[in-house]
Amino acid sequence: MKTNGKRWLGTVLLAGLMALTAACGNGNAGNTNKGAANAGNTQTTAPTEEAQATETAATEDKGTLTVYLNDFDSIIAPLFEEATGYKLEVVAGNGAEIMSRVEAEKGNPHWDVIWLDAMPSIYGLGASGQLLEGWSPNNVANLTDFAKAFVPEKQWYVPTGAHAAGVIVYNKDKVKAEDAPKSWEDFSNAKYKNMIGMADPAIAAPAYPFVSWFFKEKTNDGGQTFFSSLMDNGLRVYPKNPNVVKALAAGEISIAALQESNAYAMKNDNEPIEIIWPAEGAPASVRVAAIQKDTKNPNAAKAFIEFLLDPKTQQALIDQGDESYFQPSVNGVNAKQDRAADAKLVAADASWASENEAAIKQWFADQSVK
Amino acid sequence: MQTFMKDRLGWFVSIILFILVLYPLAAVIIQVLLPGVFFGNWQLGDLALLLEIFKRPLWQKSLENSVVLGLGTTVLATILGGVLATIRANWSFPTAKLLDASVWLLIITPSFILAQGWVLFAAGGGIAVNLLGWHWVTSAVFQPAGLIFIMTLSKFPFAYLSVHAAMEWKVDQLSHAARLSGASAFTVWRTIQAPLLMPAVWAGAALVFMDTIGDFGLPASIAAVYRFPTLPYSIYSAIYTSPIRFDMAGVLSFYLVLLIGIAMFVQFYAMRRSRFDFLSARAQRSVPKPAGKFAVLLTTLNLLFLAVVIGIPIGANVLMSIFKTQSGGMKLANLTLEHYRELFHSSSTLLKGLSHSLMIAGVAALLGLLFGLCVAYVLTYSQFKFKRTIEVFSVVTLAVPGVVLGIGYIFVWNQKWLDSIGLLLYGTPWILVLAAIAGAIPVITRLMVGAMAKVPLSLLTAAQLQGGTLASRVRFILVPLIRGALLSAGLAAFGSSVFDLAVNSILFPPNFLTLPVTINKAFEDLDFGYASAATVVGSFIVIMIILAVELMLRRKEANT
């Protein structure tokens, strides 16, 4: 019996090892060999897609434009097709899911355009050489002064709008107007103990821009002190903004830092809440669009970026979209009527936010389980 | 020639298992050693990451939570499943068949739907608080003991099925001998009957442990209201937190696989110590005795139990689908069919998603069944050297979180050179089929092996002596004898693939929505009414299909 058991264990180990080595070998050797063999073949026979793409990239598209996005998935394709005649396929998911796909596909990307409200993460894609550089759409001229500040030096992406990643929201039935917090600093006040909630920067796309602004303004140590004081004050961290909405509605919390579309939606649903735009500004989540470096559909991709910077498009997103509360990035567009006139947005520098993303998120995740 | 044939089947099965399960899993773990290898980048990873689990608070907590949840659930669910199976096998009472049906329903229903049901029931503002005014429920459920309780009620079916199957045959001669020698009924149970059952109990416990510790649906649903990070959930956040850390996911998966390895080792060790080749020609099929005066009591308890394990998670989904607002409660004015109307609205993506999911599950069930038949054949009848290895890898997907397998699938099936041979499956529905097969393999093979164990090799050998080929032996002798199990396995695989969420959410191709992704998106947007209605309609259609196929094929079986 005993020897049998050992033999069995040995088999598993051996098989495992063999598999590992085989897998490693396959991964690369296979890659380069086949690639080289193909390159050779293409000279005499039909050209492969890859070879064609480099030769004729400037003139012809090779397939259907694929856009990875986290909002507006149901309305954007028909709008774009109507405006330009190009077909469009979307892959929709939350910000984290989309970024994870992009990363896993790094060796062979399946997307042409990425359009997310996660500017630091997209900046990171640019910095690691995955985005088309140095191309500027004509419609960039339409950008507002506020939006122009977000265009990176190498023109990796364009901003298509910005929304408050967090405004102060309180339940009118639980907190009197004069007792409500007016600024972010008030959140650490002991009278709000166990009353406040927010979304998790590790999971919700807009929550990292929210958190990173504090870290940038107060420096790393100051940011840690600030959020530690909130956590000591019983801050509750929910995975996403809709969960914060739910907790507010159920009375689990009575004050929150809430993404603005969610906040206005609650108000429109007649939930007893009030929205405060703090005077120092609401940290903004900037939605940006970028083209993949080796896209096989450069014409459609560029047309899509131009389309997003068209005032008509942004107006349509505000009028018909599900995330319709945002500050447009081009002139000549009217934001939602009921969006506060004094809405002040502030944002951390994208390159700084990108560089510090891992450290800040890890610190936050570790703090919130303590 | 014969060994060659059998070995050929053995090698075939090994290669397919390698491609479907082992390689994608290894691909994720390789990320720890060589983070850039799948992007053509040779660079050694930081092995210190392996030790971070003892330093990072989040990881430590996740490991701790996973172990607590896994052990607690294993103990409670094994006891519960064992006791229920013993009662069910010994006494007959009205509604006993309902218990069997519920057990299958729980196995097929994905844990995220069960967990959503529990969250809808127990969360602040949920059904328990709003409808029944039970404010204590929220704090009772959303704490470690409460989660173990919910997990126990979802995972006990594994222990139940395992123990129940083992009680199908009994050999009374040993017990009779003991009684004749003066042993009391309890002593007989303690020293003879219970030890004979131990292998089944261990097998059930191991399945419960593996399924609990690898479960992603429950922690994911619970996380919306209560912070309880487990290993699969931290793997999820490592994969889904920008900057994406596949190496971290690899490290955490490594620990998960390690825990599962320990569980399997304990199981094999325990089973090796028990002799279970006690079936002889004097074995009798055990028939439950009428419960007599206890029938009423058993029926009542059974119904109460089912009201909790099925009524709460499934019932919460049904109620939510007909409420206008969650806080409105059970009033006539708050009832609506609007959510169902929405499902069939022209802009709704549900029907499309549902048809995609049904198609994928159907193809996966058929291919998986063929493959499962081969695996079980090798495991049952062949002398193949790597039989044990095959056995281990045929259950691994039960325990590995779907997101991990999904990422592995992208690494494996999205390499540029595959395009030149037409095998770039990532980005096509075929990758969902492959992943669904991988997910269904454990259930199919377990059921097939159980069924084949009853068909003696001598029948097949006799046919072989008459010159029957392997294919004809399987076709004319084996398949007719295990037809019932084939049907159950195929339907179970179909049912569980339709709702498989984790793999779907990372692998679905552009413009190819599937049912679980649609449902989950609605849940994420807190569109509970729509999500619940979609769950109810989806489940109803799946159950109807399963019943229809059962009816068609089972009747045919009776006629032939």
Tens-digit pLDDT profile for residues A265-274: 888 888 889 9
pLDDT digits 0-9 by tens, B74-116 = 999 999 999 998 888 888 888 888 888 888 788 878 787 888 8
- Alpha-carbon distances of B257 from A9, B58, B209, B305, rounded to whole Å: 15, 19, 12, 33
Q: What is the enclosing helix (H) or strand (E) of B186?
A: helix B185-188
Q: Kindly state the average pLDDT of the residues B179-189.
A: 85
> Is the model more confident about A53 or about A358?
A358
Put simply, the answer to whether A31 touches B246 (Cβ < 8 Å) is no
pLDDT digits 0-9 by tens, A102-117 = 988 888 899 999 999 8
**At A31, is the pLDDT very low, low, confident or very high (cuts 50, 70, 90)?**
very low
Average pLDDT over chain A, rounded to whole?
Answer: 82
Strand-pair partners of A198: A237
pLDDT at B42: 66
How many whole angstroms separate alpha carbon A147 and alpha carbon A138? 15
- Which residues in chain B have Cβ-Cβ distances shorter than 8 Å to A243? 224-225, 526
**At B133, is the pLDDT very low, low, confident or very high (cuts 50, 70, 90)?**
confident
pTM: 0.78
The ipTM value here is 0.76
- Which residues in chain A have Cβ-Cβ distances shorter than 8 Å to B346? none
A25 burial level (CB within 10 Å; 0-12, 13-18, 19+) = exposed
pLDDT at B4: 58
Q: Looking at the complex, does the CB of residue A293 fall below 8 Å from at least one CB of chain B?
A: no
Residue B358 confidence (pLDDT) above 50 = yes
| H helical segments located in chain A | 2-25, 31-44, 49-56, 76-84, 95-104, 119-127, 145-148, 207-232, 241-250, 260-268, 298-308, 311-320, 350-355, 357-369
Task: Answer whether A120's CB lies under 8 Å from A357's CB.
Answer: yes
User: CB pairs under 8 A, 24+ apart, for B369-373?
Assistant: B369/B444, B369/B486, B369/B489, B369/B490, B369/B493, B371/B13, B371/B16, B371/B437, B371/B441, B371/B444, B372/B440, B372/B441, B372/B444, B372/B445, B372/B447, B372/B448, B372/B489, B372/B493, B373/B448, B373/B474, B373/B479, B373/B486
Put simply, the answer to whether A89 touches B407 (Cβ < 8 Å) is no
pLDDT at B327: 62
- Which residues in chain A have Cβ-Cβ distances shorter than 8 Å to B347? 74
Q: Looking at the complex, does the CB of residue A245 fall below 8 Å from at least one CB of chain B?
A: yes
B526: nearest CB among A38, A242, A357: A242
Put simply, the answer to whether A28 touches B506 (Cβ < 8 Å) is no
- Which residues in chain A have Cβ-Cβ distances shorter than 8 Å to B424? 108
DSSP 3-state of A109: coil
pLDDT at A6: 44
pLDDT at B55: 81
CA distance A96 to chain B (A): 5
Residue B155 confidence (pLDDT) above 60 = yes
pLDDT digits 0-9 by tens, A60-109 = 888 899 999 988 888 999 999 999 999 999 988 878 788 888 988 888 89
Across A186-190, B40-44, B225-229, the highest mean pLDDT is recorded for A186-190
pLDDT digits 0-9 by tens, B17-33 = 998 888 888 888 787 77
Nearest CA in chain A to B427: A110
Residue B218 confidence (pLDDT) above 70 = yes
Chain A contact probe: residue of B38, B56, B138, B241 with most A CBs at under 10 A? B241
Average pLDDT over chain B, rounded to whole?
Answer: 81
